[in-house]
Amino acid sequence: MVPNMWRTPHFVRDYRRHVKTPRGRHDLDTAMSLAVGGRYEAVGQAQLAVLRPFLRDDVFIVDVGCGSGRTAYALRDLPLRYHGTDVVGELIEYAKEKVARPDWRFTVVDGLTIP
């Protein structure tokens, strides 16, 4: 039987390892920001600015690779439907808590799938 670590795509293994590095060195908010490249709120606001012309109440956003939720956090006060996916469970859990929208879904996936 092939070990499970060989069935998981390398980018998934690498990204999961990448996220663990800042967790051991920083507080949770800083670590979750660094895990997705830093400047959590500034990048989220920039992404909101790009999306704003397309946002209406009937929009359903599917965010593949949502990470720790910086886009979702920027969108959190808008009347949208949202589903974020990521391969790292710690990022998904952080996004759920940070965004605090019980009507939005966040799902851990094993690759580039959209549930």
Angle (CA) 4 66 64, round 5°:
75
The domain defined by 4-108 carries CATH number 3.40.50.150: yes
Alpha carbon distance 29, 44 (integer Å): 14
Residue 77 has pLDDT above 70, yes or no: yes
The answer to whether 97 and 69 are in contact (CB under 8 A) is: no
How sure is the predictor about 21, in pLDDT bands with cuts at 50, 70 and 90? low
What's the confidence (pLDDT) of residue 70? Answer: 97
pTM: 0.84
List the chain domain ranges: 4-108
Alpha carbon distance 77, 13 (integer Å): 33
- Please tell me the least confidently modeled range out of 21-35, 56-70, 94-108: 21-35
Mean pLDDT of the chain: 88
Alpha carbon distance 45, 13 (integer Å): 29
Q: DSSP character for 54? A: G
Q: Which two tokens stand for residue 107?
A: 């799902």
Q: Are strands 105-108 and 81-86 parallel, antiparallel or unpaired?
A: parallel
